[in-house]
């Protein structure tokens, strides 16, 4: 039996692949969570097939995370059906994901803001670093790590 965790942002080149890479590494350090599968996608298809933003890759690499194999893809209705946890980065992507769920309550109940699992942040949304500088990509990793530890705690409980 496996549990699929799906991280969702807009283009799947900054925030959600960072979440995928960070969470994948952290969950691998928890032997009792070997059943957890991790993936990411975007609500839009602008970057399908592209590698993660080089600034995301560089920021992640500095912190020991590897995003090099992740390629952008667009969220599908099948993703929503196949995932037990659908963790979105912000309210816009929450709304886009819920619309794709087509009023199916069994899917909608699985959609959550990822930062609801953070213990050390008052933010509810992971800011999009795309139009900013390197500092924004570091902030994304800080937030993603915080929320990842909270989610791991829930999965272990």
Active site amino acids: 9, 15, 128
Q: Are 115 and 93 in contact (CB under 8 A)?
A: no
Phi, psi of 25 (to 5 degrees): -65, -45
Q: Are 113 and 45 in contact (CB under 8 A)?
A: no
The span from the CA of 8 to the CA of 39, in Å, is: 9
Instruction: State both tokens at 84.
Output: 């037990």
DSSP 52-116: PPHHHHHHHHHTT---TT-B--B--HHHHHH-SEEEESSHHHHHHHHHHTTT-HHHHTTEEEGGG
């Amino acid at each position: 039996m496996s549990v699929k965790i799906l991280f969702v942002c807009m283009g799947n080149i900054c925030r959600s692949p960072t979440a995928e890479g960070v969470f994948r590494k952290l969950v691998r350090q928890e032997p009792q969570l070997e059943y957890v599968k991790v993936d990411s996608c975007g609500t839009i298809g602008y970057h399908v097939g592209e590698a993660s933003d080089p600034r995301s890759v560089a920021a992640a690499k500095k912190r020991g995370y590897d995003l090099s194999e992740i390629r952008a893809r667009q969220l599908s209705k099948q993703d929503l059906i196949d995932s037990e946890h659908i963790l979105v980065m912000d309210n816009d992507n929450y709304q886009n994901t819920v619309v794709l769920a087509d009023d199916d309550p069994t899917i909608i109940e699985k959609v959550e803001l990822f930062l609801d699992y953070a213990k050390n942040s008052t933010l509810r949304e992971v800011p999009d670093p795309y139009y900013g500088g390197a500092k924004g990509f570091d902030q994304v990793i800080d937030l993603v790590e915080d929320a990842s530890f909270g989610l791991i705690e829930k999965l272990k409980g």
